[in-house]
Amino acid sequence: MAITGVMRTGHAQLRVLDMEVSRKFYRDVIGLVETGEDAQGRVYFKAWDERDHNSIVLRQADSAGVDFVGYRVLDNATLDQLERALKERGIGTRRIPKGEMLETGERVRFNLPTGHEFELYAEKNHVGNGLGLLNPPPWGKDAEHGMAPVRLDHCLLYGPNIAANKTIFTEVLGFRLVERVLGPVEAGEPEVAIFLSCSNKTHDIAFVEHPHPGKLHHVSFRMSSWERVQRAADIMGMNRVPIDMGPTRHGVTRGETIYAWDPSGNRFETFAGGYEPYPDWETITWTFEGFGHGLDYPTGTLHESFLGVVS
> What is the per-residue pLDDT for 1?
52
- Res 184: pLDDT: 87
- The per-residue pLDDT string of the chain (311 residues; one tens digit each, 9 = 90 and over) reads 557 799 999 999 999 999 999 999 999 999 999 999 999 999 999 999 999 999 999 999 999 999 999 999 999 999 999 999 999 999 999 999 999 999 999 999 999 999 999 999 999 999 999 999 999 999 998 999 999 999 999 999 999 999 999 999 999 999 999 999 999 876 667 999 999 999 999 999 999 999 999 999 999 999 999 999 999 999 999 999 999 999 999 999 999 999 999 999 999 999 999 999 999 999 999 999 999 999 999 999 999 999 999 99
- Whole-structure pTM over 0.75, yes or no? yes
Q: What is the pLDDT of residue 185?
A: 75
Separation of CA 165 from chain center: 16
Positions marked catalytic: 154, 203, 218, 250, 259, 269
Contacts of 21 (CB under 8 A, 6+ apart): 263
User: CA-to-CA distance for 280 and 282, rounded, in angstroms?
Assistant: 7
Closest to 5 measured CA to CA, from 88, 96, 72: 72
Largest CA distance in the chain: 60
Specify the pLDDT at position 283: 97
Q: Which segments within the chain are labelled E, that is strand?
A: 6-16, 33-37, 43-46, 56-60, 65-73, 94-96, 107-111, 117-121, 151-159, 176-182, 191-197, 205-209, 215-222, 243-249, 255-261, 267-273, 284-286
b/e map of 54-70 (b: 16 or more CB within 10 Å)?
A: bbbbbbbeeebbbbbbb
List, in order of start, the domains of the chain with CATH numbers.
6-144 (3.10.180.10), 151-308 (3.10.180.10)
* Cα distances (Å, whole numbers) of residue 93 to 84, 86, 147, 183, 235: 9, 8, 37, 32, 42
Measure CA 128 to chain center.
Answer: 21
- Which pLDDT score, from 0 to 100, does residue 4 have? 76
Give the per-residue pLDDT at 186: 66
Q: Distance of alpha carbon 205 from its chain centroid, rounded? A: 6
Burial pattern 85-110, b for ≥16 Cβ within 10 A else e, equals ebeeeeeebeebeeeebbbbbbbbbb
